[in-house]
Amino acid sequence: MKAIAINGSPRKKWNTATLLAKALEGAVSEGAETEIIHLYDLNFKGCISCFACKLKDGKSYGKCAMNDELTPVLEKLKDADAVILGSPIYLGNSTGEMRSFMERYIFPFLVYSENPRSLYPRNTPIGYIYTTGAKEENFDVFGLQKVIELNEGVATRIFGYSESLYSTDTYQFDDYSKYVADRFDPEEKAKRREEVFPKDCEKAFEMGIRFVKRQKALEGHK
């Protein structure tokens, strides 16, 4: 049993990475092997619309034909029993690296057909973990709920199952006094970091547990 986390944040030790690590800890507690991959360490591009993944009888049908530093990651993900994608919200959506990754990871399995189906050969849970400095009551202003629902819906269609976790009003800086950010109350941010973020970490841990248990149950019914 293998669970892989994809970190779409440029930070390796901040909110998103911490939640992904907790999700993997949950998977480990159920006996899974785990790995975290940091997208900002890789040199790659998003989909270039070559459509080789859709070419009839093509050698790259159903898989991305591009060859760069993301290619071995995509190959590795084929053997994963659970995949968890994490990203902070930048300008109302996932980071550019995460969006480029999703284009390359998801699009090759999408079939242009009146009978919607997926070329992905397995039922694999896909988790989304989002972090944002915005408060949940402002999601409608930024359209974040639509983003979450769209990503989850696409992943469910392609991979069989998906769920999302979001951590809101997150701590952005070590020291708010050093930055032009007077719209935020540093004391409120610190309090939320201390009281709420640990609960989000627990939720991420539980996601890791759920995913491994789900796959074990599926394997047991084969």
The dihedrals phi and psi of 188, each to the nearest 5 degrees, come to -65, -40
Maximum Cα interatomic distance, the chain, rounded to a whole number of Å: 60
> Is 46 in contact with 107 (CB distance < 8 Å)?
no
**pLDDT value, residue 116:** 61
> Which amino acid type is present at position 172?
Q
**pLDDT value, residue 72:** 96
> Is 40 in contact with 97 (CB distance < 8 Å)?
yes
Mean pLDDT of 61-82: 94
pLDDT grade, residue 183 (50/70/90)? confident
> Which amino acid type is present at position 55?
L
4-18 pLDDT, tens per residue?
Answer: 999 999 999 999 999
pTM of the model: 0.91
**Secondary structure letter of residue 202 according to DSSP:** H
135-157 pLDDT, tens per residue?
Answer: 888 777 778 888 889 999 999 99
Among 163, 78, 93, smallest CA distance to 126 is for 163
**pLDDT value, residue 222:** 52
Copy the structure tokens of residue 104: 């390359």
The dihedrals phi and psi of 197, each to the nearest 5 degrees, come to -60, -40
Per CATH, the architecture of 2-220 is what? Answer: 3-Layer(aba) Sandwich (3.40)
Strand order in the sheet with 2-7: 33-38, 2-7, 82-88, 124-131, 160-167
**pLDDT value, residue 96:** 94
92-137 pLDDT, tens per residue?
Answer: 899 999 999 999 999 999 888 776 678 888 889 999 999 988 788 8
| Residue-range domain boundaries for the chain | 2-220
> Is 165 in contact with 207 (CB distance < 8 Å)?
yes
Among 151, 191, 187, 200, smallest CA distance to 16 is for 200
Q: What angle do CA 54, 57, 63 make, to 5 degrees?
A: 45
The CA R_g of the chain, rounded to the nearest whole Å, is 18
